[in-house]
Amino acid sequence: MTVCLTSVTFWVLRDLPLAQDVVEITIEPGTTVRGIAQVCVDNGVTVDPAWLYWFFRLSGQSRLLRAGSYELKNGDSAWDLLQKISRGQESLQALVLVEGWTFRQFRQALDRATHLQHLTRGQSEEAIMAQLGRYGQAAEGRFFPDTYTYGKGDSDLRLMTRALFAMDRQLAAAWQKRDMSIDLDNAEQALVLASIVEKETGKPSDRPMISSVFHNRLRVDMPLQTDPTVIYGLGDTFDGNLRRRDLQTDHPWNTYTRKGLPPTPIAMPGKAALLAAVQPARSNAYYFVARGDGSSEFSPDLETHNAAVDRFQRRRNAASISP
């Protein structure tokens, strides 16, 4: 028995094996003790989750485990991990990244965040991505929209790193679940399409059908003709009113003048948009129009689509002149 207790004590106090020098663990509210153990392993604590689970339970502190964002470093033990999760982190702040935000909006939110070191303020997109180890990669769409908690003195660069790695994981997971019949060559194309689906979707349940429309157009070499990409390409010159000349002015993100996907994502897609991009609905729809209630009407041909556009435009016009 003494040998057994000695072995357990040694395991509890020895350095935990980590997948990298620093491991980020985010525990969501309502996560069970077993779930917390699994989250630790999923994020880089390379031990059997059953060992952590039983350690948490037998410690007598399992009821004290708290939701939050925690950091493990090389040299931390299972006991250190328990203490961090049971005590929580004081004065945690939260930064919410919204699905459909652009990188510019992300940076604006970082600049407004309190108790945060602003290491990237004033730096170019290229310089920031270089610091993140992504030389030459566009920043747009590379950060996963979620709620990120941080402590006083944390840095904007560190939050960017967490959001970057979160998107890496979410994109890889979605790509693994892709419909093998889709005509996307790689996960990067899926990310670009997911960003378009995110910006075009008003009603969440419409995402698979909107994705289906774009997949159908790609399959027959038809221009995507999606306004959000054109607006993105206009950048600061867009004044809120998309004009006919804007649709006719060629640039890399103008999907009216150029076929195929644009060169980069146009926003941060969420998990649902990522999955919709790789798991489109099976349909013969090539067009869609907003109904005015957040949902969309889908059509298989231009004649049907034009009739739908006329119908919903007349409905909106009638509503605008109602007493």
Region 170-186: mean pLDDT is: 96
53 occurs within a structural domain: yes
Which pLDDT band, with edges at 50, 70 and 90, does 90 fall under?
very low
Residue 3 has pLDDT above 60, yes or no: no
CB 103 within 8 A of CB 139: yes
5 occurs within a structural domain: no
Question: Residue 32 sits in a domain of what CATH number?
Answer: 3.30.1490.480
Same-domain pairing of 129 and 201: no
Same-domain pairing of 245 and 189: yes
Q: What is the pLDDT of residue 315?
A: 65
6 occurs within a structural domain: no
57 occurs within a structural domain: yes
Residue where a domain terminates, one of 87, 122, 146: 87
Same-domain pairing of 159 and 213: no
3 occurs within a structural domain: no
Closest CA to 264 of 234, 233, 238: 233
> Out of 118-127, 170-179, 191-200, 311-320, which region has the weakest mean confidence (pLDDT)?
311-320
Number of domains in the chain: 3
The 10s digit of each residue's pLDDT in 4-20 is 545 556 677 788 899 88
**Which domain, by its residues, includes 142?**
93-173
Same-domain pairing of 77 and 105: no
4 occurs within a structural domain: no
CB 113 within 8 A of CB 95: yes
Same-domain pairing of 199 and 117: no
The 10s digit of each residue's pLDDT in 113-162 is 987 889 999 999 999 999 999 999 999 999 999 999 887 668 999 999 99
Same-domain pairing of 314 and 184: yes
Query: How many CA atoms are closer than 13 Å to the CA of 57, on its beta-carbon side?
Result: 11
Same-domain pairing of 187 and 233: yes
Mention every residue, 6+ apart, whose C-beta is less than 8 A from residue 190.
Answer: 171, 174, 175, 178, 184, 274, 277, 278
Residue where a domain terminates, one of 140, 173, 206: 173
Residue where a domain terminates, one of 33, 56, 87: 87
Same-domain pairing of 186 and 300: yes
219 occurs within a structural domain: yes
Q: Is 2 exposed, middle or buried (0-12, 13-18, 19+ CB in 10 A)?
A: exposed
